[in-house]
Amino acid sequence: MRPRRILLAALAAVLLSGCLARAAVDVVTLPVEVARRGVDLATESQAEADEKRGREIRKREQRLGALARDYARAMERCGDGDDAACDKAQAIRAEMKALSAQAPPAPDAD
């Protein structure tokens, strides 16, 4: 009976050593993984920056297009003698100028 217990204990030790080693590796590498993920979340890749800049440009161009259409309509009514339309056209033109001035910066040339 005694040799059987020794054999089972030895077999259990061999089988459990892999689990313990893997757990030890996980515990040791956990801080490194957490730090890596934190840095990855905190930084922006060049592709992500390009996509973000492209979205900003498209959104600005869409808004400028809508303002241009509104401006043309307001100017047409202004030409017909509508003073309120003339004021609206001036306000739209000012917004268009402000929007054109705040274009997103071009990416740095490397």
Check residue 13 and give its pLDDT: 67
DSSP string, 8-58: HHHHHHHHHHHHHHHHHHHHHHHHHHHHHHHHHHHS--HHHHHHHHHHHHH
- Residue ranges covered by each domain of the chain: 1-42, 53-103
pLDDT at residue 50 in the model: 87
Q: Give per-residue pLDDT as tens, 15-63.
A: 666 666 676 667 777 777 887 877 777 777 888 888 889 999 999 999 9
Query: Mind listing the pLDDT tens digit for each residue in 21-32?
Result: 676 667 777 777
